[in-house]
Amino acid sequence: MLGLTETRISGLLPAILGQLKSLDTIAIYTAMLSGLIPPELKQCTSLVNVYLYENVLSGSIPLQLDKLGNLKTLLLWQNNLVGVIPWSSGACAGLAVLAFVSLRMRTPCLEFMIFCFCTGMQSSYWT
């Protein structure tokens, strides 16, 4: 687990995190992380929980993150993320909690994604 919560840590989320293959949780929330979510996180195949909410991350969610087959929780609210939610291939079948509140995200088939691909999903928050 990598946890740096409710700190004033700032800067970019380093791409080198992708080399931590056994990393199961990233919890860096209520901080000052900026920049893009590195696509290299797709290499963290053990990743179960991602808590990156209440930062100043920008750009889009990397399409490569749909390769995280063990991902159960993805919390990204209160960032400056835009674009399309990348799960169109069905790789998020185990996703239980998906929260994107206050983001400028869009998806053409959200209901299809939730009901067909995210069969384990318990809650989804949208504004």
- What is the domain class of 2-125 according to CATH? alpha beta
Q: What's the CA gap between 110 and 56, in Å, rounded?
A: 25
* 36, amino acid identity: L
Residue pair 44/23 in contact (Cβ under 8 Å)? The answer is: yes
Q: How confident is the model over 32-41, as pLDDT tens digits? A: 999 999 999 9
Domain residue spans in the chain? 2-125
Angle at 32 between CA 34 and CA 85, to 5 degrees: 50
Q: How confident is the model over 59-104, as pLDDT tens digits? A: 988 888 888 889 988 888 888 888 777 665 455 666 666 666 555 5
Whole-number percent of the chain with pLDDT over 90: 39
Residue pair 27/5 in contact (Cβ under 8 Å)? The answer is: yes
Whole-number percent of the chain with pLDDT over 70: 66
Query: What is the reported pLDDT for 8?
Result: 82
